[in-house]
Every structure is written in C-alpha cells, then in structure tokens.
C-alpha cells in the first residue's frame, strides 16, 4: 500500500504545472461562487435562434474582459454524471470506471477537497445550495467528508406546489431563496450552487417560459425544449448577478461557471445538427465527441485581463487552475489535472472510457480523427501514430492512477504537510447557520 501511494505521488510530482505569474493569486481572498450549470453544453454559448440569443446573460459573462473563458473545455464524466463532475471539480480525480463514487464509496472515502483546503489555507467557510434532497447522489455524506460546513438542500426552501419540478426547486427560486442563508455566511466563502431546471427532459411550466423567446422547430421535442430550459437557466443567472451587484458581494467575489455534462444525447444529436449548421447525414463518432464541450468560465469582477482561452482541458483541471488563481500553493495536493492557465498543461483530454481529444486529433472508439477535417485518418503516418500512442499512454496512466487513488482509498496513507484530515462528525446539515 505504501508503494501504491508512492506511485501516485511521483505521478503528481511529474505532472505538476507552475502558475503563470500573470494569473497567480489574482483572486486571492475573494469569495468563490461555483455555479453548476446542469446539462449545459458549450454550443449554446453565443447562439442565436430566430435572431435572439438563447443565453444573453451567460454570453455577457463569457464575452467580458473580466472573464477567463475556455472554448475547448470538455466534460469527463462517467456513469456518475453530476456526481462525477462534482468529484472532479472538488478533488481533481475522476469518477469511477463504473457507477458513482459518491454513491458507492462516499460514506467513508478520504477526500482532500476544495472546501477543506480553502478552509485550512485561507480561512474560507463553505456551503452548497441545491434544491434537491440531501440524500440524492449520497451528497450529505460526501460533503461532510469533503469538509463542507453547510448544505442547504431542499429542506431549507419552500418546494411546494409548482415551486419545484423534476429534480427539485426551480433555479430562479433556488438563487432567490438562498439569499438569507448566503448573507449570514462568514466571508470569504466558497459557495456552490447546483442548478436543476435545465435537466432532461427539458420541460418548463407555462409560466416559466419567456413569451419573448421562441425556440427551434426541429422534429425533436428534447432539442426544442433544451433551448427553452437553457434560456430559463440563463435568466436565473441574470437575476442572481443583479442581486450580487446590488448587494455589493459582486466586487468581493469571483464566479466560476461550468457545465457538468451533455444535455443532448448522441442519439438525439442528429436533430441538433441542422441547428448547428451541420449535416446530419455524415455525422460520426468524432462529431459526438466534439460536442462534449461544456462551458468553463471564471468571472473576476474588477480585473480586466480576460478573454476566450483556447487551451484544451477538462473538468479534472479546474481545481489546480482555481487554486492558483486563489493564491494557494497547490504542489502538495494529489491532483490528476493541470493548471490550464499555466501554459504548460499537456492538452490531452481523457474521457472516462479512455477515448480522448487533443488539439490536433481525436481518438474515438479505436479510430483516429483529424480535427481540421473531422474525417477519420485511415492510413496514419508514422508520426501521427507516434503522437497518438504517446497520448494513449498518458490517458491510460492518468485514469489508472486516479482509479487506484479512489478504489483503494489511498489518500488514507498520505496527508499533505500542514493538512488536517477532515472530521465528518463535526458537520450537521440539519441546523443550518444556527
């Protein structure tokens, strides 16, 4: 077991990327909002339908020079879906090859996660706001092991009648009804909001539809509904930003927004093709892979060095990127990802099934694709093969090291210097801020 963790630590050491001085610590001491955009994909950004923007508020954030936005950022979830995304963002390790880590191992897993690290290094308090029940994805147990101080789940809000649907409290109400709790939190805080309204099957109550927004007219109700719930989610973000600005919290905070995974499944993508200006007839596996892009943006009010960054990366890379922005020395933490702003990340994006995407090529179900032409390379040259083989090795190693850590609970055997193990019994989520 000692040798297992040694292997992990030498991997971590070899893959560590130093912060770029341009970004190191630019958000030090700020409150952090992490806004989880449920099932939200990158293609909706800046998209217009019938001349209207689907997500005008998110677009404004995306296009702002106070925002670092990524347009080659991929979701890397497996069967754990939302819970895998959360796990990657909080720990920079992957979900499991099968099932959900949260659900199967969350009760007594050893985590060295964002809330505990930020508490211990910079004195942050922490909370999750979510309109579903605490037991979904076993969150209440996992969050305690991650060191979350508060979890404001469905029981903290009025979810009666038409205030909730599908997976819980509607997003506009989640943001609005969380304010009394948020305002009592000690600053600086790390606050995560998990939205739910933009979740399959993408239906909205009539009164939640914007009469000024008309969606697509494809043969798929899923696709047409998707843009409507995208638009609702976007409005909820707009309302929350209005509140942040009015309350003065905005200038003391940074806001991280990310999409957790696809909303439109591969089988439905042919209906999406026409909306994206593509041909459904020659749709291939690489088209599906390229659609695994989701937003990742960091809005830093008062700072103006932003723009759209084209670095390839994924959810596994958020934690190292964020820690450096917050001025936290991250070298001693066990992370499978790399700082996307370091300029030194390897840009090989692993999917949970070992397929992968790089800036030049994609490797999907044993086929190599050229990203310039989107066509399969049937007779790869020696040099292409060499590049692909090297990337294949990297992906295999990254996933297997991550699985070793999680399946064997290896962090039991390693405590970063100065880090105090989380004591889950300290947390009780039923009494809020009392």
Cα torsion 375, 381, 383, 386: sign: positive
Instruction: Convert residues 41-80 into a mask of x (bound to Mn ion by CB under 5 A) and - (unbound).
Output: ----------------------------------------
Is residue 132 within the footprint of ligand GP9 (CB under 6 A)? Answer: yes
What DSSP state is assigned to residue 411?
Answer: G
**Cβ density class 80-89: b for 16+ within 10 Å, e for less:** bbbbbbbbbb
Question: By CB under 5 A, which span of 81-89, 109-117, 268-276, 398-406 interacts with Mn ion?
Answer: 81-89
Q: Which is nearer to ligand GP9, 106 or 188 (CB)?
A: 106
**Quick check: 167 binds ligand GP9 (CB under 6 A)?**
yes
Q: In the bound complex, what is the minimum distance in angstroms from residue 195's beta carbon to ligand GP9?
A: 9
Single out the residue of 81, 231, 324, 352 in contact with ligand GP9 (rule: CB under 6 A).
81
Strand order in the sheet with 150-152: 150-152, 125-130, 189-194, 31-37, 253-259, 296-299, 67-70, 307-309
Q: Which stretch binds ligand GP9 (CB under 6 A): 89-97, 143-151, 193-201, 281-289?
A: 193-201
CB of 270 to ligand GP9, least distance (A): 22
Do you know the residue count of the chain?
434
Residue 298 φ/ψ, nearest 5 degrees:
-125, 110
CA–CA gap between residue 273 and residue 84 (Å, rounded): 27
Q: Report how far Cα 194 is from the mean position of its chain's Cα atoms.
A: 10
151 in contact with ligand GP9 (CB under 6 A)? no
Closest CA to 40 of 13, 62, 16, 25: 62
Return the range that interacts with Mn ion (CB under 5 A); candidates 49-57, 233-241, 259-267, 377-385.
Answer: 259-267
The residue sitting closest to Mn ion, measured at its beta carbon, is 82
Please select the residue that binds ligand GP9; options are 196, 294, 300, 316, rule is CB under 6 A: 196
Alpha carbon distance 240, 152 (integer Å)? 17
Query: CB under 6 A: which stretch of 49-57, 191-199, 222-230, 391-399 binds ligand GP9?
Result: 191-199
- 82-101 binders of ligand GP9 (CB under 6 A): 82
Q: Decide if 349 contacts 313 (C-beta within 8 A).
A: yes
Backbone angles phi, psi at 409, to 5 degrees: 50, 50
67 is catalytic: no
Q: Taking the CA atoms of the chain, what radius of gyration do you get in angstroms?
A: 21
Given 17, 55, 67, 82, the catalytic residue: 82
User: From the list 136, 193, 312, 356, which residue makes contact with ligand GP9 (rule: CB under 6 A)?
Assistant: 136
* 229 scored as a contact of ligand GP9 (CB under 6 A): no
Under 8 Å between Cβ of 258 and 296:
yes
260 contributes a contact to Mn ion by CB under 5 A: yes
- List contacts with ligand GP9 (CB under 6 A): 81-82, 132, 136, 167, 194, 196, 199
Q: Please identify every residue annotated as catalytic.
A: 82
- List contacts with Mn ion (CB under 5 A): 81-82, 260
């Amino acid at each position: 077991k000692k040798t297992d963790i040694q292997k992990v630590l030498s991997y971590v050491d070899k893959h560590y990327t130093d912060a770029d001085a341009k970004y190191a610590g630019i958000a030090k001491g700020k409150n952090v909002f992490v806004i989880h955009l449920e099932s939200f994909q990158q293609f909706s950004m800046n998209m217009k339908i019938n001349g209207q923007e689907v997500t005008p508020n998110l677009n404004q954030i995306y296009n702002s020079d106070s925002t670092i936005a990524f347009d080659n950022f991929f979701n890397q979830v497996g069967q754990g879906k939302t819970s895998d995304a959360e796990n990657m963002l909080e720990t920079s390790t992957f979900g499991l090859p099968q099932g959900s880590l949260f659900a199967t191992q969350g009760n007594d897993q050893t985590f060295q996660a964002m809330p505990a690290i930020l508490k211990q290094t910079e004195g942050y308090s922490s909370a999750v706001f979510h309109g579903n029940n605490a037991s979904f994805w076993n969150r209440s147990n996992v969050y305690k092991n991650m060191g979350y101080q508060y979890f404001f789940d469905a029981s903290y809000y009025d979810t009666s009648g038409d205030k909730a649907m599908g997976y819980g409290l509607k997003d506009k109400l989640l943001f609005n009804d969380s304010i009394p709790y948020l305002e009592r939190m000690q600053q600086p805080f790390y606050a995560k909001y998990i939205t739910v309204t933009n979740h399959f099957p993408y239906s909205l109550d009539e009164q939640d539809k914007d009469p000024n927004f008309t969606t697509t007219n494809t043969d798929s109700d899923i696709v047409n509904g998707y843009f409507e719930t995208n638009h609702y989610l976007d409005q909820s973000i707009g309302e929350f930003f209005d509140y942040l600005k009015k309350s003065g919290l905005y200038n003391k905070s940074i806001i991280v927004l990310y999409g957790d995974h696809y909303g439109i499944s591969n089988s439905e993508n042919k209906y999406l093709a026409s909306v994206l200006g593509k041909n459904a007839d020659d749709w291939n596996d690489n088209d599906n892979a390229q659609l695994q892009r989701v937003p990742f943006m960091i809005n830093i009010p008062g700072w103006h060095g932003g723009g759209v960054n084209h670095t390839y990366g994924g959810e596994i890379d958020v934690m190292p990127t964020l820690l450096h922005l917050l001025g936290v020395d991250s070298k001693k933490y066990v992370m499978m990802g790399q700082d996307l702003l370091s300029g030194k990340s390897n840009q090989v994006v692993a999917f949970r099934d070992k397929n992968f995407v790089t800036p030049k090529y994609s490797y999907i179900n044993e086929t190599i694709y050229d990203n310039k032409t989107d066509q399969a390379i049937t007779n790869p040259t020696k040099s292409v093969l060499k590049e692909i083989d090297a990337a294949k090795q990297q992906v295999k190693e990254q996933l297997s090291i991550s699985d070793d850590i999680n399946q064997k609970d290896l962090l039991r055997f390693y405590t970063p210097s100065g880090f105090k193990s989380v004591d889950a019994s300290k947390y009780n989520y039923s009494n809020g801020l009392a």
